[in-house]
Amino acid sequence: MKTLRGFRDILPPESDVFHFIEEKSREIFNIFSYREIRSPTLEETALFIKSTGETTDIVEKEMYSFTDNGGRNVTLRPEGTPQIVRAFINHNMSTNYVPPFKFFYIGSMFRAERPQAGRFREFEQIGVEYIGNATPFSDAEVIILLYRLLSSLNIKDVLIEMNSLGCDKCRQEYKNALTRYLEAKIDSLCPACQRRYQRNPLRILDCKIDREKIRDAPEIDLCSTCNLHFEKLSNLLKKSHINFQVNKFLVRGLDYYTGTVFEAKSSELGAQDEVAAGGRYDNLIKSMGGPNMPAVGWALGTDRVAILLKDKVKINSEKRFFVACAGENARDKCFEVLLNLRKNGVVADFSNFEASLRSQMRTANKSKSSFAIIIGEKEIAQGMCILKNLKKGEEKQIPLVNIVEEALSVMEKKSHDEDTSLRRSE
């Protein structure tokens, strides 16, 4: 049996990279006071049709939808924002929780896309949503949060591309102008864009096939309120030293966006350079039956980020110490020492105490442990053990009663050295 096309098992050491990204994200989210919402994997199909939009690629051709045994139309979640909004409304969080309403999520999403580098049919997203703040300061916060997270992951050459779709009035006027411009070009556009022309002409700007054909398309003319919002956001990002540029043709592929939209890109990824994207969705909560509350957020593709970190971030082996047994009568003592090390927070492992010492040491080296603790009958009689540095081959004798203290001291020193090394590399 094999995994389905577009699905995969994430094995060590790649799974270590995913864990690293998730832990770093939680650390940064905590600093910015975002709290986690864990949503179900399965939702009513109507949730995503109503929120994401009937004309989006996600709804038209990418969702995993089916009828369950109860006759309900359900869908494996293709994105996270609609779920956060549903939870916000269902649990009356605008009344039952204290603002600011700032949330994050981490989980698998499902889209029936063509698999390619960094894109799978089951993929992980990490996202944030800031609900209830219409000012450009909330736009700036989520973008700065994203930029800081990517920087903390040591991702280089991050660029934020952004645009404003304006308010409903700005957007409608722009749709009219764009429709008039596209009328003469409609026959030369791809079949998908010919359909979009009738249903949602803005999405033609997002088409990679027809991009060169519409280079001279008109730009959106923002009203004074929307223009002031976007200018203030730009100034806030400049003051925060965020590397950004305005892309007048950036619209994003989801219907619920209003006002600010943005993408985070890294040149390290090559042609598929987008690592995260988001924007403002001030009308979505009300349209789904909730209070009239503005919101802004983004989602990050963990798989894309994992590609960047695969070769440049070294995940420390958790098996820093390896307990090896030299002699049948030392097995119980070795196991006792192993458990005592773990009880005191020392990362320690072993293999088979009944195997030869040579075999155990081979396993220790393969596990990339930093140190081996060797205990035999002779060492027990002397109340000692051997601490061997597996990287340098150096050995020294340590009193058994001091082994936990010594191991903790070694771990602390090693952590400090790695910290210093990381700062130098940055």
Choosing from 309, 338, 371, the residue where a domain stops is 309
Same domain, 300 and 326: no
Residue 218: asked if its preceding bond is cis (omega within 30°), the reply is: no
Same domain, 302 and 343: no
Q: Is residue 192 assigned to a domain?
A: no
Distance of alpha carbon 12 from alpha carbon 18, whole angstroms: 10
Same domain, 135 and 276: yes
- CATH code of the domain in which 389 resides: 3.40.50.800
> What's the pLDDT at 251?
83
Torsion angle defined by CA atoms of residues 280, 43, 20 and 162, in that order, rounded to the nearest 10 degrees: -20
Classify burial at 92, counting beta carbons within 10 Å of its beta carbon; exposed 0-12, middle 13-18, buried 19 or more. exposed
CB 167 within 8 A of CB 258: yes
Share of residues in the chain with pLDDT > 90 (%): 69
CB 74 within 8 A of CB 43: yes
Q: Is residue 217 assigned to a domain?
A: no
Taking the CA atoms of 173, 176, 180 and 186 in sequence, report the sign of the dihedral they define. positive
Q: How many structural domains is the chain composed of?
A: 2
Tell me what the mean pLDDT of segment 226-240 comes to.
Answer: 97
pTM, whole model, 2 decimals? 0.87
Distance of alpha carbon 195 from alpha carbon 185, whole angstroms: 13
Taking the CA atoms of 132, 249, 124 and 255 in sequence, report the sign of the dihedral they define. positive
Q: What is the pLDDT of residues 356-391, one digit of tens each?
A: 999 999 999 998 899 999 999 999 999 999 999 998
Same domain, 286 and 362: no
Query: 3-class DSSP state for residue 351?
Result: coil
Same domain, 304 and 331: no
Give residue 229's domain range: 14-166+222-309
- CATH code of the domain in which 233 resides: 3.30.930.10
> What's the pLDDT at 253?
64
Smallest CA-to-CA distance from 308 within 190, 150, 181 is with 150
Same domain, 162 and 299: yes
Same domain, 243 and 370: no
Distance of alpha carbon 197 from alpha carbon 178, whole angstroms: 9
Same domain, 405 and 262: no
